[in-house]
Amino acid sequence: MARTRTKRSRKLGLPPGSLVHLGERKTATPGISLIEFDAGGLIEHRFESIEASRNFQPRHKTVWLNVHGLHDPEVLAEIGSRFGLHPLVLEDVLNTDQRPKVEEYGDYLYLVARMLTMNAEGSEVLSEQVSIVLGANFVLSFQERPTGTFDALRERLRQDKRHIRAEGADYIAYAMLDVMVDHYFALMENLGERIDAMEDMLLDRPSRELLHRLHELKRVTLHLRRAIWPLREAVHQLQHASSELLRPATQIYLRDVYDHTVHLLESLDTHRDLLAGMLDIYLSSVSNRLNQELRALTVITTLFLPAGLIAGTFGMNFHNMPLLDDAQGFFIALALMVGVALAMAALFWRRNWLG
């Protein structure tokens, strides 16, 4: 939907699993940060380059590695070999137009979701791919650029609210999903408010521009649908994954996320139905108004007709015509003209044609 489409065609002819970054280069240098934690404590690391991390050994049970900026395939290749990731996973991390999905790879799960934000004017939805790899005691997350989306989550880890550190890697993965879904709700609210606003405009003053804004909003709903629908499916799949990676306690939270995605989809459908209805009303309103204007103009033309005919009649050159010699003849004729026009206007007014 975004006009800057990812050029997947650049990969034509390359073998599957080729690490080529498809998508805009959205940040200057990749940033690699790592948080290791367990109930006993938490340490944060930030690596300047992938080489700097090579000798790293974690001292806590759970590791959360976050990478933003994906244009350097070397970084990915290194991480891939370190955590034993399948080439297809690395390829999908780099090709940032994946649809949301979950894939089980034996001892880890690969999850793709999309982070949606609206541009300043609210006319375009910006979409960013977030890849999450969930292992037994690690979470890897890959973003296209630093967005601060997960800062609140990091803060909660630092302060260990509700003993979140004890929860483990699967809870972190869930918490990231939850943050993204909460962002969807904000988008949906925005959308709903704009639809309400347009509905009021529709009644007050339907303008040509409204049509294009309706089309724009329809585009936004299509975009949201493409992000949320497969996410719902993916969460459903997560819930029914046979994987040991997700503890039952986390499953309850996933059910909540699933429920939220269904809620979002239902709101979206309602929005689409309303937009469709508004389009019908708009089209009818505009064509109606134009026709009423045409009618008004035609009414004016009609009002002039009898007056013109009277003038023509008294302009005939017959030798023997009544009134011509009458001193008041001219004014009688004028009165006739005005009188007939008024009578017709009254008639049209009663039939409600002066619109």
61-120 positions binding its own copies, by CB under 8 A: 86, 88, 92, 98-99, 101, 103, 105
Residue among 39 and 286 whose Cβ is closer to its own copies = 286
Site string for its own copies, 26-55 (x = CB under 8 A): ------------------------------
Give the side-chain half-sphere CA count within 13 A for 227: 29
Measured between alpha carbons, how far is 144 from 113 in angstroms, rounded to an integer?
Answer: 12
Q: At its nearest, how many Å lie between its own copies and the CB of residue 49?
A: 27
Among 118, 286, 336, 340, binds its own copies (CB under 8 A): 286
Residue 234 CA to residue 253 CA, distance in Å, equals 15
Q: Which of 15, 28, 55, 240 binds its own copies (CB under 8 A)?
A: 15
In the list 29, 81, 119, 284, the residue contacting its own copies (rule: CB under 8 A) is: 284
Sheet of 101-105: strands edge to edge?
41-47, 31-38, 62-68, 138-143, 125-135, 108-118, 101-105
**Do 308 and 301 meet the contact criterion of CB atoms below 8 Å apart?**
no
Q: Which two tokens stand for residue 150?
A: 């997960």
Shorter beta-carbon distance to its own copies: residue 51 or 107 = 107
Q: Which two tokens stand for residue 67?
A: 């990478």
For 160-181, give one letter per residue: b (16+ CB within 10 A) or e: eeeebbebbbbbbbbbbbbbbb
Of the candidate residues 20, 43, 126, 323, the single one contacting its own copies (CB under 8 A): 323
- Cβ of residue 32: shortest distance to its own copies, in angstroms? 24
Q: Does 152 bind its own copies (CB under 8 A)?
A: yes
User: d(Cα 76, Cα 312) in Å, to the nearest integer?
Assistant: 92
Please state the closest distance from residue 145 (CB atom) to its own copies, in A.
Answer: 19
CB of 28 or CB of 316, closer to its own copies: 316
Which stretch, 52-60, 63-71, 139-147, 172-180, contacts its own copies (CB under 8 A)? 172-180
Among 212, 189, 190, residue whose Cα is nearest residue 201: 212
What does residue 241 show for φ and ψ, rounded to 5 degrees? -65, 140
Residue from 20, 52, 126, 252 touching its own copies (CB under 8 A): that is 252
- Distance, in Å, from the CA atom of 318 to the CA atom of 221, rounded to the nearest integer, reads 75
- Using an 8 Å Cβ cutoff, are 206 and 289 in contact? yes
What CA dihedral angle connects 155, 157, 163 and 168, to 10 degrees?
150
First to last CA, the chain: 42
For residues 201-240, which are near its own copies according to CB under 8 A? 203, 208, 211-212, 215, 218-219, 222, 226, 229-230
Residue 37's nearest CA partner among 182, 122, 143, 156 is: 156
Choices 26-34, 40-48, 238-246, 260-268 (CB under 8 A): range interacting with its own copies? 260-268
Within residues 289-318, the interface with its own copies by CB under 8 A covers: 290-295, 297-302, 304-309, 311-318
Please select the residue that binds its own copies; options are 126, 287, 349, 354, rule is CB under 8 A. 287
Q: How far is the CB of 313 from its own copies (least distance, A)?
A: 5
Provide the minimum distance between the beta carbon of 48 and its own copies in the complex, in angstroms, as a whole number.
29
Q: Which stretch binds its own copies (CB under 8 A): 15-23, 27-35, 74-82, 138-146?
A: 15-23
Contacts to its own copies from residues 175-194, by CB under 8 A: 175, 178-179, 182-183, 185-186, 189, 192-193
Number of residues that bind its own copies (CB under 8 A): 112
Give the C-alpha separation, 14 to 73, whole Å.
15
Residue whose CB is less far from its own copies, 57 or 351 = 351
10 Å Cβ neighbour count for 276? Answer: 11
Q: In this complex, which beta carbon is closest to its own copies, that of residue 51 or of residue 293? A: 293
